[in-house]
Amino acid sequence: MERTIIHCDMNGFFASVELLERPDLKDVPMAVSGNPESRHGIILAKNELAKKFGVITAETIWSARKKCPDLQLVRPHHDKYKKYSQLINAIYYRFTDMVEPFSIDESWLDVTGSLKLFGSGVQIADQIRETVKKELGLTLSAGVSYNKIFAKMGSEYKKPDATTVISRENFKKILWPLDISEMFFVGSATAEKLKRAAIFTIGDLASSEKAVLQGLLGKQGSMLYDYANGLDESPVARSYEKQKIKSVGNGITFRRNLTTADDIQTALKALSDTVSSRLRTYQLKSFGVKIDIKDPYFKTISRQKQLESATNITDEIYNAAFSLLQSSWTIGKPIRLITVTGINLVDENESEQLSLFTEDQDLREKNTNLDKAMDAIRNKFGGQAITFGGILKNDLGIDLLDENEERED
């Protein structure tokens, strides 16, 4: 039996949630944005009216207001978005237990086993849209297809509040004429590379030689060839299957540029603390650490290193991050943003070779106990109840680091 998969994509999710409590902004262009005083002045989400003015996600407030001088801005409330995301997914679970969240406002549903109960894929998608609209006051677009990739592209094809079917019979007609940048997993850099190779549309991609695409893009080339030809067979995870986390990270645009070693150490300590805390929450350890550094001119570098032992200890992640920065950045050269990420993750209970040096083990145990004690205090009294002394009263804007911005894609 052929699979029936639905991809649900909330329409202007952050902005729509804000409008539930701000109906006065319903008929004017509005956007959810970061705080310009903290240099987080980017658009996180926008409503349809703002979109018509050309306002796009991730552009600066300054740029958005040049396009739309009357743009109304609302600060983000991430706790609300998480709450509504959970409510939306709870509605999906009424129709199937095979629900795979892709982001805070998108999910795949495999409804193959639900067709006899609720009707065709289109009927189920329409029921979901109506239920979400009636119960939560929000709208979504749905794509219905026989694979995940085409279902995702179907949900993007027509917005807002619509259902689009991408079938074996019509996908060439609907998708192949689209610009190559519309292909799922094709970013701007990949699109430019493909266009230089005279691959301008999704149809061009589908009719290319697979070996040529592999030579051009490596494994990604082979994957994109399969996707364009409707050959994706990846499954939708069941609701009770633990999603595999590939990395855990956090980053921040600082209130002012970092220019001294003290600035950098303060920032890296705070970021490493957040990353290690999240790793412990997920019961994971990382075998590698990655840092991303952006200067005031938006030039970005990325560096990573393998660790001798997997860790979720703050001090070890910090030492690795600082070592990477020292070896790849000139102290004194201004830094606008840093991201620290734990990579190559394993279960924290996975066995590992113990150090032959007792003092190393004693230090690890001491640091582990310190981190766990801080976790316990934060769990009881809140995330800001305790931190490292060097982070207190800084002017970098990292006092509420764990509430760092998210944005819609």
Residue indicated by tokens 């999710």:
13
Whether the CB-CB separation of 328 and 303 falls below 8 Å is answered with: yes
Please name the residues in contact with 276: beta carbons below 8 A apart, sequence gap of 6 or more: 311, 312, 313, 314, 317, 342, 371
Catalytic machinery residues: 106
Which ranges in 218-313 belong to alpha helices (H)? 219-228, 261-281
Residue 99 and residue 101: Cα distance in Å, rounded? 6
Q: Distance between CA atoms of 394 and 267, rounded to whole angstroms?
A: 9
Distances from the Cα of 4 to the Cα of 9, 111, 121, 225, 324, angstroms: 17, 6, 6, 22, 46
* Residue 251, C-beta contacts closer than 8 angstroms, at least 6 positions apart: 271, 292, 337, 338, 339, 340, 404
Residue 320's closest CA among 370, 275, 262? Answer: 275
Q: Among candidates 246, 394, 390, which has minimal Cα distance to 318?
A: 390
**Tokens matching residue 27:** 């008929």
Q: Angle at which helices 78-92 and 13-21 pack, to 10 degrees?
A: 110
- Per the CB < 8 A criterion, the answer to whether 338 and 322 are in contact is no
Report the half-sphere exposure of 155 (CA within 13 A, side-chain side).
Answer: 28
- Is the CB of residue 263 less than 8 Å from the CB of residue 331? no
For the stretch 301-310, contacts whose Cβ atoms lie closer than 8 Å and that sit 24 or more positions apart, written own/partner, are: 301/328, 301/329, 303/327, 303/328, 304/343, 306/344, 309/352, 309/353, 309/355, 310/285, 310/286, 310/344, 310/346, 310/348, 310/350, 310/352
CA dihedral 49, 53, 54, 57 (to 10 degrees): -40
